[in-house]
Amino acid sequence: MQLANLLRETLDVDCDEVWENERTPTPVRVFAVRLHSMGLSVREVVAVLELLGVDRSHGAIW
């Protein structure tokens, strides 16, 4: 299964109004939260997001 399909199937959320002013798309934020909840550090989450082409600092992720 491709990562895009996995994200589309598992990270579909209906709370866009909560993060409407954020520059990072909601599925990416949800994915980052799930990674962190699985035990990855904030810096490890940043590294994973960089592999996906999302450039954010660890402070922004925190």
Q: What residue ranges do the domains of the chain occupy?
A: 3-15+23-52
Angle formed by the axes of helices 3-10 and 26-37, nearest 10°: 90
Angle at which helices 42-51 and 26-37 cross, to 10° = 140
pLDDT digits (tens, 9 = 90+) for 4-59: 665 665 555 555 555 566 677 778 888 888 999 999 999 999 999 999 888 888 88
Q: How far apart are CA 32 and CA 38, in angstroms?
A: 10
Q: Please, are residues 55 and 42 in contact by the beta-carbon 8 Å criterion?
A: no
Alpha-carbon gap, residue 11 to 37, rounded angstroms: 14
**pTM, 2 dp:** 0.63
The H or E element spanning position 34 is helix 26-37
